[in-house]
Amino acid sequence: MRSSYTVRLSQRDFAKAVDVTTHAFRNYAFLQYLTPQTDARMRFARWFCTSCIRYGQLYGRVDTNSTVNGVAVWLTPGRTTLTPWRLLRSGFISAPIHVHVQSLKRFILSNSHMEHEHKRFADKHHWYLMALGVDPQYQGQGVGSQIIQPVLELADAQHEQCYLETQTERNSQFYERHGFKIMSQKTMPDSEMTIFAMVRKPKL
């Protein structure tokens, strides 16, 4: 990992980035909550990751490393609101085509909660870490830390907050090591999935 370096995702590596994040998220708590059916989850994960990365390319920045074994999707200050038009352009509006009705209901419910907490805790101008995925075989080797560091440093230099949601205690502990603090946590109905809303204040 030390021989790799952080870069912005190129269109040439888009497909590989989708593959990496799909495998990173296929057994993630959030996708297990949305699609309990194992056979449907991989297909859903691929659609979700494709739309997420495309959204980041359109309205933020997508960072990776030179070997593309991790991807960080950031939305830039002033563009952190997930508007219907932006969701349409990135492919998220096609959700009914890709998910079961029950999964769609859960998606809407969880997204509504995350939007509420986002508005509640984040400053008007902030960076939003929409997604961070690392190839499972490279997890625990510093890849995630490496690819989020450039924006954390930029946010510090610009005196701006960073905001994110995550769905496991292990991930929340990872982000705490990078200066984020838990602002709220909520377990979604009829599930064991907890959504952590986290904020990182700029270092002076």
Q: How many structural domains compose the chain?
A: 1
CB atoms within 10 A of CB 41: 20
Domain for residue 1, yes or no?
no
Closest CA to 202 of 180, 182, 174: 180
pLDDT value at residue 94: 67
Q: For 139-149, what is each residue's pLDDT tens digit?
A: 999 999 999 99
Reported as a pLDDT band with limits 50, 70 and 90, residue 95 is low
Domain for residue 176, yes or no?
yes
Domain for residue 127, yes or no?
yes
Are 150 and 6 within 8 A, CB to CB? yes
Domain for residue 79, yes or no?
yes
Per the structure, the complete domain to which residue 132 belongs is given by: 6-200
Exposure pattern of 99-115 as b/e (b: 16+ CB <10 Å)? beeebeebbeebeebbe
Whether 93 has a pLDDT exceeding 80, the answer reads no
CB atoms within 10 A of CB 16: 16
Classify residue 111 by its DSSP letter: H
Report the CATH number that the domain containing residue 52 is assigned in CATH. 3.40.630.30
